[in-house]
Structure 1
Amino acid sequence: MSTTENIPPPHLGALQFRRALREDLDAIVTLLADDVLGNRREDATLPARPCYVQAFEAIDRDPNQFLTVVSRGDEVVGCLQLSFIPGLSRQGLWRGQIESVRIAASERGAGTGHALFEWAIGQCRERGCGLVQLTTDKTRSDAQRFYQSLGFTATHDGMKLELAP
């Protein structure tokens, strides 16, 4: 490991957090595909395929969804989807669900992910959520350590059932 790998990249300008726009979709799909799991399950063909456009439009219409991008200047350097979920359990507690977290390779280790999570957790508080939850692939040990450093604890085992299209 070279000594430069731990040095944050030089940046001009501060991070900006905002709702994703349709014109951000290609950058988001590129981020989703740029990791070990994403490169197997995402299609990074640009412009974004119609399936991504339709999903973006559905998310954008739903008031309980917030597809977020973090940018530095004009460059999208991260994203996540924040879902606000009402529930009956825990006396009607609202939950914030964080999914599809990606940080550009050039930003990893620079605090961008930490800042994005602080922002997202703040959004959950503003919406009255009493709990923030996420799932992470069991093979992503680095991601698990990162989430634990933010205070997340592995309290449940998640299960999924993939349905054929």
Structure 2
Amino acid sequence: MNQTEEIERNEIIGYAKRILPIKSISPESGGKGEGERADEICKILDEMGRKNYTRYDTKDKSGSIRSNIVLKIGNTERTLWLISHIDTVPEGDKTLWTKEPFAATIEGDKIYGRGSSDDCQAVFLSLMLAKRIKEGSLRYNLGLAFVADEELGSVYGIQYLLKQGI
């Protein structure tokens, strides 16, 4: 592994350790929603100097806040969107887990934890792009959307953002 790969590996592990332990389960499935995980993603964006994101929070039927974050890099007419969702399903029967579900367990080149593949790998990629892409360096805008509610239909996630004209 070269130095750049090592830096990127450590960056992904850092994001995993910050994001995976945060339960981001919909209220319909017994959770508190995506707010806390969205807060952490906003902190990460702030730390990298990407303060031009917009947070789109909406209330669901129960009155719980459902959180979405949109970041656009660039200033052209067209946008290439990368969409990742920040909610997870519950862990189910914990006795069936060989690792702590709401933690980032690193073993070799693997990261174990609820949501590490579906869909935090896309969250981590989006964060890495946000850190590396320079304004004006792309032919099109890069739009990064971190959305709520994908696991249960996207009513408060991508559907909500589309209704807002995003």
The alignment's TM-score, normalised by the length of structure 2, stands at 0.30
The alignment's TM-score, normalised by the length of structure 1, stands at 0.30
Considering Cα pairs closer than 8 Å and 6+ residues apart, tell me whether 1 or 2 has the greater RCO.
2
Structure richer in helix, relative to its length = 1
